[in-house]
Structure 1
């Protein structure tokens, strides 16, 4: 080894030792010199606070935009990618995450009366004040309307159909499901009085119904993280409850 190279190595070792020594201290509260300290003690940012140097996120805010198709945990049955003109797909794929309890049906009745009855009537016969003026509002207990399942009703509430305007911006997903449940009451042709009967028996038809709490093929019980397998179509459903009542059935219970 040549003399200049040997001297260079000695000087480098000395400088390294001095650098390490400068990072030490006899004070317990002195962290010394840290390399890349922000990696150990990150700077907290408010999610919606704008910064002058953030050129990646939308509007310069610190909160990252979720990836396309992101679904909040526990909301798998609330979000779907079914096009607005595909109500037939909604009939087959969407499943109501709420059970037919008295509380849910009564809440659906309140929402229906407040938002829907001016057109569809309190009895669901299309004889509301607006329905009488403009005509053409269907009777839920007549023809094909009395066989609509929860998924069909939910989809129409969200996107509208024919002359009915979309109501997705007016009622959130939970409210849509509960309104759909109350429409199932009115399909019986007995008006609001049929509510207690539906609580006991569930929907009149369960062959293509949307009242099961869980999708056994693709998801676990609503409200739990879906760590194992995700559905291609959120809210996609499986079989109806084994007793044919449409009342919630969670495997293992």
Structure 2
């Protein structure tokens, strides 16, 4: 009997202690609405980067800026240089000198078709006839058909070369904006490969 009462007292004491700790944690977590403190932070150094942010002042450079202009002639990592300007002359030069470096195979054509459907078909249509969903909404005039249309820069769309198509995807033309930020150079070449298929339809 004495042993049972001792066990009950220990249980009550343990339960009371647990309740008190839980109550204290809940009360202490409730702010007094006068502070924005979030309390203790775990691994504070993970929140504060060691490196400078690009827009921060930086005493390590003479002009006091963190973001510096890259040295002339350098190429950023992952960037592929395209040395043909966004001019009619650059467009014509690309037509003569720029050729698709990718092998024409089923895999590249399939990926080109997928990229075309995702990025180009809303305007150009699934078969490249200029009947995309945006055109059907009567928001924009239809682009010329790859198979039968005339290019706004002269000539037939079906005669567009690798370089002309790649130049247009890179810089955009008329209402079509540049797709250089959406499509990597390799992806652009796959789209070029697929557009040649649409020129035959």
**Which residue of structure 1 aligns with residue 106 of structure 2?**
102
Higher relative contact order, chain-length normalized (CA < 8 Å, sep 6+): 1
User: If the length of structure 2 is used for normalisation, what is the TM-score?
Assistant: 0.59
- Tell me which protein shows more helix as a share of its residues: 2
**Which residue of structure 2 aligns with residue 251 of structure 1?**
none
User: If the length of structure 1 is used for normalisation, what is the TM-score?
Assistant: 0.48
- Matches of 1:51 and 1:106, distance apart in 2: 48
**Which residue of structure 2 aligns with residue 126 of structure 1?**
130
CA offset digits 1:80-109 (Å, max 9, x no partner): 232212321221222322111211111111
Larger radius of gyration: 2
**Which residue of structure 2 aligns with residue 141 of structure 1?**
147
Q: Note the C-alpha offset of 1:120.
A: 0.5
**Which residue of structure 1 aligns with residue 16 of structure 2?**
none
- Matches of 2:186 and 2:113, distance apart in 1: 13
**Which residue of structure 1 aligns with residue 86 of structure 2?**
84
Q: Aligned pair in 2 of structure 1 residues 152, 52: CA closer, same or farther (>3 Å)?
A: closer
Give the conservation status (yes or no) of the 8 Å contact 1:154–1:177.
Answer: yes
Secondary structure of the equivalent of 1:161? coil
Where do 5+ consecutive residues of structure 2 fail to align?
1-49, 150-155
- Matches of 1:171 and 1:80, distance apart in 2: 14
**Which residue of structure 1 aligns with residue 179 of structure 2?**
167
- Matches of 1:152 and 1:186, distance apart in 2: 15
Where do 5+ consecutive residues of structure 1 fail to align?
1-44, 190-253
- Matches of 1:85 and 1:165, distance apart in 2: 15
- Matches of 2:85 and 2:77, distance apart in 1: 23
